[in-house]
A and B are shown apart, each in its own frame.
Chain A
């Protein structure tokens, strides 16, 4: 396969930066625990874009892509455990609002 042209590196880095700030905004503002998880997924995606872009444009080694594979695997594990915990919180407290879940707070 022949790639016609390569786009500059900073295009990808800026996309990653935008995704990271949107994810940060979601994590900081949302009250629904599932929505916060969506923000975390956005942040992980932005890191993955940066990993792959740097591995293609600076070293041309495969290591960046291997690291992105590990990030995807850990994101899957994190999502499964986090959603199990959220479902448990919902079962116990009938809410997923993180401001309402303050049973350990005095």
Chain B
């Protein structure tokens, strides 16, 4: 049937999009390329959710991952590098150790997935919206995790705002230490000067 073929083609385009852009994220030499490839990965995963009849999750994926987390990551990339520095590089350490580890885990996982006789039930061909069911589950069976997660979000909000707040009354040139007292005098002075030397070397 022609529509089946088109359906399959769209599915494999999404698969290719997810896997290909994830490979770019992993192996690109420039961190901006990685960040923008991550956009394609997240969008492709949203497409896969649609194929899994999870419409609410697909919308959530686009809203939170593409619209929220990715924008945060792009902000972090741009704020932690000098914009005038074109290179924005993304150095790699010891790929000859991590590569085989990741490859062995991948091949092992694929072998297990193919060999395991999954107890698959017949998938319903009719798809109704999942939003109502998810809402009922969150407000019924999963009420306690839902409340816990909302407290976690509140704590994360306060923590992030505390960590990222500007220095009160100070200039950005003076470093401050949010995790304790700023180091001053004595042996700590040596640490400070060593750090200054290093940052000058970086500049």
A48-64 CB contact bits vs B (8 Å, 1 = yes)? 11001100111110110
Q: Report how far A37 CA is from B38 CA in the complex, Å.
A: 11
B102 adjacent to A5 (CB under 8 Å): no
CB within 8 Å for A18 and B52 given contacts A1-B127, A65-B134, A83-B75: no
B175 adjacent to A66 (CB under 8 Å): no
CB within 8 Å for A90 and B79 given contacts A14-B110, A75-B69: yes
B123 adjacent to A76 (CB under 8 Å): no
Q: Report how far A35 CA is from B32 CA in the complex, Å.
A: 10
B118-146 CB contact bits vs A (8 Å, 1 = yes)? 11110111110010011001100110010
Interface size on A, residues (CB 8 A): 80
- For window 86-102 of B, CB contacts with A under 8 Å fall at 90-95, 97-99, 101-102
A41 adjacent to B22 (CB under 8 Å): no
Contacts of B106 in A (CB 8 A): 17-18, 20-21
Cβ-closest chain A residue relative to B96: A29
Q: Report how far A96 CA is from B133 CA in the complex, Å.
A: 43
Q: Report how far A96 CA is from B160 CA in the complex, Å.
A: 18
CB within 8 Å for A34 and B119 given contacts A24-B101, A24-B105, A45-B45: no
Summarize B's interface: helix, strand, loop or mixed: helix
Cβ-closest chain A residue relative to B162: A84
Is B13 part of the contact surface with A, judged by Cβ < 8 Å?
no
Contacts of B49 in A (CB 8 A): 52
Q: Which of B93, B114, B172 has the most CB of A within 10 A?
A: B93
A21 adjacent to B145 (CB under 8 Å): no
- For window 47-75 of B, CB contacts with A under 8 Å fall at 48-49, 51-54, 56-57, 60-61, 64-65, 68-69, 72-73, 75
CB within 8 Å for A38 and B79 given contacts A4-B7, A17-B109, A92-B176: no
Q: Report how far A95 CA is from B19 CA in the complex, Å.
A: 31
Contacts of B172 in A (CB 8 A): 91
A5 adjacent to B4 (CB under 8 Å): yes
Extra contacts, 5 of them, besides A39-B26, A73-B149, A84-B159 (Cβ < 8 A), are A3-B127, A25-B98, A38-B25, A57-B118, A86-B80
B interface residues (Cβ-Cβ under 8 A, vs A): 1, 3-4, 7-8, 11, 15, 18-19, 22-23, 25-26, 31, 34-35, 38, 41-42, 45, 48-49, 51-54, 56-57, 60-61, 64-65, 68-69, 72-73, 75-77, 79-80, 90-95, 97-99, 101-103, 105-106, 109-110, 113-114, 118-121, 123-127, 130, 133-134, 137-138, 141-142, 145, 149, 152-153, 156-157, 159-161, 163-164, 172, 175-178, 191, 195, 198-199, 202-203
A interface residues (Cβ-Cβ under 8 A, vs B): 1-7, 9-15, 17-26, 28-32, 34-35, 37-39, 41-42, 45, 48-49, 52-53, 56-60, 62-63, 65-66, 68-70, 72-81, 83-88, 90-97, 99-100, 103
